[in-house]
Each structure stands twice: as C-alpha cells, then as structure tokens.
Chains A and B, each alone.
Chain A
Amino acid sequence: MRKGRVACIECVQEIPCNPCEGICRFGSITVGEQITALPVLHEDSCTGCGLCVANCPGLAIVILDKSYSETEGTVDFPFEYLPLPAEGDEVDAVSRGGEVVCRGTVLKVTRVKSYAGTAVIRLKVPLEYVDEVRSIARLPRPRQ
C-alpha cells in the first residue's frame, strides 16, 4: 500500500463464487477449482487496476493506496446508490459499520458498461483512515 495501489479483498466466508479470478488480467487473484475456496491475492502482480472492485458480486473488494501523498491515501470502493457524488465533492467517509470516520474528497467516479451498473468511487482520505474507510454515506435524494 505504501508502494502504490493494491487490491484488498474482504471476502471471509466460503461461498461458491469466483468472478474475481477470471476478471483479473494479471492473474493476481486465485480461487482454484473448488469455487467455495477463499480468493488469494498475489500482491506483487496486482496493479490496482480496479476491475475486480466492480466485478465482485459481494462488493467485497477495495483498492487502497497509501502512496498518494505524505498525509493522504485513497480508497476505491464500489457504490450502487443514486445519486452519485461528483468529482471534487467533499463527503462523509464511512467505516465497515457505517459510522462516519472522516471527510473525504471524491477524486473519481467510474461508471463504464463493463461494470454493469456498479460505480467505483475513488476517495481521498487522511492516511490514517485508509484501513478504516470502506464507503461513503448515502447522499440525500432530491425530493420528487
């Protein structure tokens, strides 16, 4: 993470699932023949490209980068709520438990066809929160 962008897979139960293995162009994730096995990340070949983030059906993969600056890092996470934030927005960054842990700046919102509806947001947060931040608070919907 200090070297640069790398995936972090938070998939802890043996469920039958293996899209992450197939989507990775670098062979950096292996599940194996028995698809209930947990995925194994090979950090050295992972480029942090983020394809797996949008393609994990469990939304259980993030890309972490602790090399962004001396004091800041980034977290790329999947996000499937509307409205989406805009690049440059300051938003509430939340933990795995949904608690607001700090403010973050949206650096990038990627929505491409191959992500099949899942947006991937890159959020800049203070370095010490990179291991904690996993999403952002849902944004209010415009009243109809």
Chain B
Amino acid sequence: MKIKETDVAIIGAGSAGLSAACQAAAAGARVLVIDENHLPGGQLFKQIHKFFGSRAHQAGTRGYVIGQQLLDRVEKSGAEVWLDTVVYGMQKDCTLGVVHEDEHWHVIAKKVIVATGAKENYMAFPGSTLPGVMGAGAAQTMINVNRVLPGERILMLGSGNVGLIVSYQLMQAGADVVALVEGAPFIGGYGVHAGKIRRAGVPIFVGHTIKEVTGKDKVEQVTIVAVDSKWQHIPGSEKTFDVDTVCLAVGLNPMTELVWMTGCEFTFIPAFGGHVPMHDRNMETTVKGLYVAGDVTGVEEASSAMEEGNLAGVAAAEALGYLGAEEAAEKKKEIWGRLETLRSGMFGEKRRTAKQSQIERMEAFEAGAACGQKGAAV
C-alpha cells in the first residue's frame, strides 16, 4: 500500500470537480483529482448542443468545447489528475481508499471534495430487461463519445431536457425517433428543445407511459398506453410501434455512496433526486473538511455544477489559508450571484427553493448539534 498526501483531493473530474480543481490549485493548494473513467470531463464531452445560460457563462458554446476549455485550465493550474482510478471507500476521517495503476493507495487530504455526479434512474415494465432498452444517457454516450448508433428506430420515454436533447442528438446521429412519451400531462423540459424535435416530426405523447416491450432476444416492439390522473393505465388506449431501441430518460439520482460512508448527515429532497448531503454556503458537509459539489448535492445541470465546484474550491482553499477571508468572500459572492441567476425563472425556481431548504436544514442541524441535540433538526 502506498500513501499519497495532498491539500485537496477531489473525487470526480466532471463539471464540478474540474471547476473545484481550478479554483483550489489557482489559489496555490496542492490538488489531486481522481476519476474512474479513462477520460476526464464527466458528462461535458457528451454534450454536443449549445448551452443556455448567460454570456458570462459561455452560453451558446457547445458543451464539449466548455469541457475542453475547463481541462486546459486544469492542466495550467498544476492540479494532478489520476484517471482510470477508483475510489472504493472513504473513512470517517476522509482518508480515501484508492486503486491507481493496479496499486492500492491511501490518499490523505486536508480537504476532500466529492463531485461524483448522478446516475440514471431505471424503470421496470414487462420487457424492460430486453437488450435494446437503455438509459438515455447511455445512448448519448454511445453516439457522442463512442460514435456508435444504438439503433435506428427509437422510442424515448421522458420529456425532461435529457429526453428532449438526447432525442434530438439521436436524430442528428442518423436514427429515427418514432415517438417521445411522457407520463405527466405536459412536457417537462424547455419548450425550445421540444420545438426542435417537433419540427423534426417526432410525435410527443403526454399522459402516456410504456406498457410493455416485446421481442425475441431483443427489442422489436413497444406498446404505450395512456394513464389517468392516478397514473393508472387506461385500457383500450394502447399504441404499438416497431422499434429496435427504447431509451429511458426518467430522471437521475445523486451518486452519494462515498459520502454516506463518512457518516455525513443527509436530508431528503425529492426535487433533487432523493437523499442529498446537507451542506452550508461553502458546500461543506456536516463532516468537517468534507465538501460536495455538483449533482451529488442534488441533480441540477452542468452550469450550476461548475459554479458549485468553483464555490467548494474557493472555500477549501480559504480554509487551508491559501486565500484571505476578504478575497474568498468576494469570489464566493460572485459565484453565488451567478448561481442565483441559474436558479431563476420558471424552471429554476424549484431548484432555488430546494437548495435554500437544503442549506437551512444544515443550519438547523448545526444549531441543534451545538445544543447537543444531534439529528433533531431534520
């Protein structure tokens, strides 16, 4: 077993982790970023569409270009990046158990930032285990990273931005999307994304779900059915499509396993995808020195993840004395301003209030802990 000591260890080299690395390393901290994938960038390199947001936020720039810019900044910052490296566990003192280049390492860092992102939800229905049923994110990785078309006739379930964007990108890659199906009575994602696939002639069935997928050894047909206000199937409303692929874009949940291992306090926020670690306005959790950033703190989107990463990086650097209180406060104020903007409008409001309550629960917990009433605040 080998030992690696560093100032800041960051788990996850995606939007949040790389942003945190830039901030902490730029301030002068020794930074190690660890990722289990063989390429850094997380989900950014799958995003071939132009991002929304403000011009200050590189809006209008395609995701993979933002990823490349971020990587260049990390390289210049002096942060070390370990790829193909698995963090299999974290002790209560935040020592990391790591397998790197076939060797077992203990990584001991003064501050740890967990930026592990989220994973796709799955949905079970008859035939859901047939080859050809896959997560929309998986299909997106196939077309945009590995350049493999998963199928030629695809049905997409879920009309959030993931379902809408991946449908569009599947058509750009040469597939036909025969239908987009949404259980709720309305389209979940941005109207402009829906507009793109409507112009391409894709029918959108709201208030419908998948009844079953059939086929010998692989997906051959999918039957959808209308649902009532209690999500019960309405008999007689079935429609069947010949398809070779069914994609599920039914939400994501935060990848929190490592954070749980430390004994960190969690709180349940459905709008964020389930149980999420409590954290303060510095992204620090109830475990001192353990920070979280990005989708692991609650599923949002890439721009917010980058800003949370910036925040955690600045806060960790400040806590280590690499940034003065005044300088850090200035940076954090700017970042929070940008986060407020990203969490505004008809789509952002729910995330803004969810994040607010996550931080308030942390404050209540801390206050309770100070009075010796651990856990009473949730």
Contact = CB atoms under 8 A, between A and B. Distances in A.
Interface of A: 10-19, 21-23, 34-36, 55-60, 80-82, 94-99, 116-118, 134-135, 137-138, 141
B172 to A, nearest CB: 6
Given A55-B60, A141-B174, A16 B53 contact: yes
B193 interface: yes
A18 B54 contact: yes
- Counting chain B residues whose Cβ lies within 8 A of the other chain, the interface size class is 20 to 34
A131 B66 CA distance: 35
Given A59-B195, A141-B174, A14 B346 contact: yes
Nearest to A134: B199
A13 B348 CA distance: 12
25 contacts: A10-B195, A13-B190, A13-B347, A15-B192, A16-B53, A18-B54, A19-B59, A19-B60, A34-B344, A36-B344, A57-B52, A58-B192, A58-B193, A80-B172, A81-B171, A96-B195, A96-B198, A97-B198, A98-B198, A98-B202, A116-B50, A116-B62, A134-B199, A135-B200, A141-B174
Given A94-B199, A141-B174, 12 more contacts: A13-B346, A15-B347, A19-B55, A34-B344, A57-B60, A81-B172, A81-B200, A82-B172, A95-B199, A98-B198, A98-B199, A116-B65
Contacts of B192: 11, 13, 15, 57-60
Contacts of B53: 16-17, 35
B81 to A, nearest CB: 27
A15 B50 CA distance: 14
Contact of B344 (A16, A58, A117): A16
Contacts of A16: 52-54, 341-342, 344-345, 348
Contacts of A117: 62
Contacts of A141: 174
Contacts, number: 103
Nearest to A118: B50
A23 B345 CA distance: 22
Nearest to B303: A16
Interface string B148-175: 0000000000000000000000011010
A142 to B, nearest CB: 10
